Amino acid sequence: MTAPLPNTPLDPALEYSMDHKKRGFFIIINQVKFESRTGQKERTGSDLDAAKLEETFKILGFNVLPFRNLKLADLRRLLAEYGQKDHSDNDCFGLAMMSHGEQDIIYCTDGSLKVDELTKPFRADNCASLIGKPKLFFFQACRGFTFDDGVEKTDADLPEDEDLEEERVQRLPIEADNFFFYSTPPGYFSWKNALYGSWFIQELCRVLDQWGTRHEFSQLMVSVQREVASNRHESLTDRAATSRKKQMPVSVSQLTKLLYFRPKLPPQLPRVAPSSES
């Protein structure tokens, strides 16, 4: 049972059902240290991101499961385990991966794997109990080595949203109901500060802390993109080649409905009739 929220769609079929007993699992994979043979340096500041993610998604009602410095075999076992769980009583599923990365790959402590290995166990053809439920994936990692130099100013109007149209279907695409949020576009560098964490994760948590239980999720993710791209975030280093650089997160939505994380109401206790005195 969920608390009412004003200004929601008139047709409840346009929203994901969030009336299950539990919100669901949110897995945090925080890769900080790496074996020398990977060629990857320690990711100082990532623990700040992991702690903030845990705090934020607990507030949204998730059962948060943090993991740190996983090897490839450990990560694959973890993904298989939670992909095979029964999520029937859960609203949704979420996973955040923070590590070094390149184009289409991401690192564990002892080697790399393709990004789609992280998401495949939760796809509709592999996890039946998550069919029709939102599956959210967040990636804080470089996707290449190109820096975003930014530009002085551009103005562009966003296209208007097309009207949603209800359609009765018998089969669902196996890739339906996924949401992928990357800290940076393919080929680009992703910024992180050793003292404050990453631009992307910190803004994601800040927006969700402020509005996550009140506004629609996809709209909030646009706010995250705007905040990371704003004037508040620009690299400052002692090298001209890496200073005054920008970053633009990328979201890929395969969601088919609107998503709200309304606070779950506590279960109501059964009524007990007053006892009569003799």
SS3 category, 54: helix
Region of 58 please: left (phi>0), alpha (psi -120 to 50) or beta: alpha
Instruction: Indicate the class that CATH gives domain 23-145+175-253.
Output: alpha beta
H or E element at residue 108 = strand 105-108
> pLDDT for 33-62, tens place per residue?
999 999 999 999 899 999 999 999 999 999
Catalytic residues, which ones? 100, 142
Residue 164 has pLDDT above 50, yes or no: no
> pLDDT for 205-240, tens place per residue?
999 999 999 999 999 999 999 999 887 777 677 677
DSSP 135: E
In the block, tokens 């969920």 appear at: 2
Cβ atoms of 202 and 138 closer than 8 Å: no
Residue boundaries of the structural domains of the chain: 23-145+175-253
The model carries a pTM of 0.83
